[in-house]
Amino acid sequence: MVTDSVIRQIGNLDSTIHNPARLMIILLLNQNEALDYLDLMNRTGLTSGNITTHLTKLSQGGYIKIRKSFINNKPNTSVQLTDKGRKAYRMWGEAISQVLPGSVLRGIKAQILNTLIGQHSHVFTNSEFLLDGRLRSSLVSDLLIQNLSLPPMLAPNVW
């Protein structure tokens, strides 16, 4: 059931990063230490004018840091996600995860659990981690939080 607080949370989504073009930029920067302007432009498919506008908005909001330099006498613009940008992206993800359809959320959980079991199969062969033939939920939650940096919505209470 969707609660009023979930509705308010969606209504309060950070519009700076919720924009599709800026969300692509934030996603790419979250997965990389830094990317240069041309790489971001090529990977997002945005035009030079569009990406410049979106980078400016993200920079003004404190979500990204833009560094201009020269590499082999050629200008280079490097873009990096700030702590504020990383936090905003995490909060956006937590808000969105609150309203995912049940079937989508179950599919995500299944993929995560399969990945986790594959990476930590040695842990799951030990019977002390099983309860009635099933994995102890606290173990799964701990491993999910520690190894996959999952937001709380996808970790302890829903497994």
Domain boundary assignment for the chain: 4-86, 101-158
Per residue in 104-124, pLDDT tens? 777 777 777 777 666 655 554
152: left (phi over 0), alpha (psi -120 to 50) or beta: alpha
Q: Return the exposure string of 134-146: e unless at least 16 CB atoms fall within 10 Å of the residue's CB, then b.
A: ebeeebbbebbee
Backbone angles phi, psi at 71, to 5 degrees: -125, 120
**Residue 145 reports pLDDT greater than 60:** no
Q: Tell me the pLDDT of the chain averaged across its residues.
A: 78
**Residue 133 reports pLDDT greater than 60:** no
**Residue 126 reports pLDDT greater than 50:** no
Tokens of 121: 């199969």
Backbone angles phi, psi at 52, to 5 degrees: -60, -45
Residue range 4-86 in CATH 1.10.150.20: no
Is residue 85 within 8 Å of residue 62, measured between CB atoms? yes
Backbone angles phi, psi at 78, to 5 degrees: -105, 140
Residues 36, 8: Cα–Cα separation, whole Å = 36
